[in-house]
Amino acid sequence: MAKIKRKRKGFVWLVGAGPGDASLLTLRAKECLKRADVVIYDRLVAPSILSFARPDAELIYAGKEPNGEKTSQAWINETMIAKAREGKKVVRLKNGDPFVFGRGAEEAEALADAGVPFEIVPGVSSAFAVPAYAGIPLTDRRFASSFAVGVGRSAEGENNSVDFRKLADADTVVALMAVGELEKVVAQLVEGGKSPETPAALIEWGATPKQRVAIAQLKDLPSVARSENIRPPAVLVVGEVVKFRDKLAWYERKPLFGKRVLLPCFDTESELASDLEELGAEVVRLPVAKTVRQKNRVRLQKAIDKTLAGIFLESVQTATASFGHMNCHGFGLGATMFSGNGDGEQKSPPPKWNGEGSGLAAGLKLMVEGIGVSNSAPRRLPESFLKAILKEPIHIVAFTSPALVRAFFEAVGHERAEEILESAQIVVAGARAAKFCKQIGLEPSFVLKPHTFGRLAIVPTK
């Protein structure tokens, strides 16, 4: 009897991407991106966040440019519904939180009316995260016990902006999308009772490497914004709490603030990426290679049959490819495992390691890659994926192994790779990667070691 093929059910996640810093992405948001067949993303979504999407996912731009091209809301709704009806899992990725000035309710309503199942994934709102990244608290028991948030104008210029005279009584006032209507917003706040001398801040591209902050008294802020050429997106903060900025500014003081690092990698869950982000860099993960499991496991089984006390794995990728999710005891092995640093520079087992595991006094190091159990293969990344995550200038390209250097050229194409490297500094982790780069005509600016990541701050931008 022939099996009946069930039609795959589509689904939509309305996901908040946060204000820009990829480290503020929620665990749920990251999980949805990794599962999505289609990602429909806004203009303000950072490339470092898009890089968590599956490389084979369809990435669809749905941005609204200030005073420029705008993707209609009707088209966005229709596209979400159509892709879901094709049986695909769809992420609608929105800056900040989808239910805070993000049209999330409109899109959820359209999905509900169409009978498409969906889930709301809240995000960190720019309304409070961007001021925090500028060192400005919204409340403080000495100066502010209330705050109000409004929108200067909608992304499509519709006449539905807030009357800020009604918000002026709050100790702190936050305005999103207010740059185009700044003079009007300031005038309304003063009319509503705010002192013209109230401290005010305008934060451009907050929580990103492009963050800039303009500070002035409320009455002077429009002219200061013009002189400093502050452009959207920007968040306005008005209140005594702005005075904290001088003392509490922290983000711009990180050693790698303003640096965008491209990290060719096997897996987006990279320890090096986390270390660089901790130092203030925006890290764009580029999954240029994948680890392939080989079928000649017979040789590995024979080695294990000798009752090894320990197995030495050259890298985390090797371990994953060799054993996957299996427990070593499934091979009849009580094993102690040691790994290398991912660059092929082996770390020896502890000096007193005596091979305790299956009764042998002497430990045997088995280089699994030497048996040929695992291998790496480059990915050819789709043009839509590359266009989305390489849309911003790259300041530094960091290579962690010779294999990833080769895979980088294969994945993005030689012409594009050369264009990126021509305008970026090259840094490498480990002597082997440095040697290989020099062999193919690339001159690294810096060789990384775990305790020297912070020195990337002195690597000049080309």
User: pLDDT digits over 6-53, tens only?
Assistant: 667 899 999 999 999 999 999 999 999 999 999 999 999 999 999 999
Amino acid at 180: G
Residue 305: CA count within 13 A, CB half-sphere: 6
**Predicted pLDDT of residue 160:** 64
pLDDT band, very low/low/confident/very high, at 159 (cuts 50, 70, 90): low
pLDDT band, very low/low/confident/very high, at 237 (cuts 50, 70, 90): very high
**Predicted pLDDT of residue 453:** 60
Render pLDDT for 240-253 as a digit per residue (tens, 0 to 9).
999 999 999 999 99
Amino acid at 226: R
The yes-or-no verdict on residue 193 having pLDDT over 80 is yes
Identify whether 30 is a catalytic site residue: no
Identify whether 247 is a catalytic site residue: no
Tokens, residue 415? 């012409």
Three-state SS for 112? helix
**Predicted pLDDT of residue 269:** 75
Render pLDDT for 102-158 as a digit per residue (tens, 0 to 9).
899 999 999 999 999 999 999 999 999 999 999 999 999 999 999 999 998 755 555
pLDDT band, very low/low/confident/very high, at 198 (cuts 50, 70, 90): very high
DSSP 120-160: EE----HHHHHHHHTT--S-BTTTBS-EEEEESS-TT--S-
**Predicted pLDDT of residue 362:** 35
Phi, psi for residue 235 in degrees, rounded to 5: -115, 130
Kindly name the residue from 42, 88, 194, 259 that is annotated as catalytic.
Answer: 42
Greatest mean pLDDT among 89-103, 143-157, 258-272: 89-103
Kindly name the residue from 30, 64, 83, 88 that is annotated as catalytic.
Answer: 64
Q: State the sign of the Cα–Cα–Cα–Cα dihedral 102, 22, 206, 46.
A: negative
Which of 313, 356, 315 has the alpha carbon at shortest distance from 337? 313
Q: Which domains does the chain have, with CATH numbers?
A: 11-124 (3.40.1010.10), 128-248 (3.30.950.10), 260-288+379-458 (3.40.50.10090), 291-376 (no CATH)
Q: Are 244 and 137 in contact (CB under 8 A)?
A: yes
**Predicted pLDDT of residue 446:** 86
The yes-or-no verdict on residue 224 having pLDDT over 90 is yes
Phi, psi for residue 20 in degrees, rounded to 5: 155, -45
CA 202 → CA 25, 168, 220, distances in Å?
24, 17, 12
The yes-or-no verdict on residue 395 having pLDDT over 90 is yes
Mean pLDDT of 369-380: 61
Which of 49, 71, 69, 68 has the alpha carbon at shortest distance from 60? 71
Residue indicated by tokens 């005891």: 329
**Predicted pLDDT of residue 220:** 98
Bridge partners of 118, per DSSP, are 12
**Predicted pLDDT of residue 361:** 33
pTM of the model: 0.80
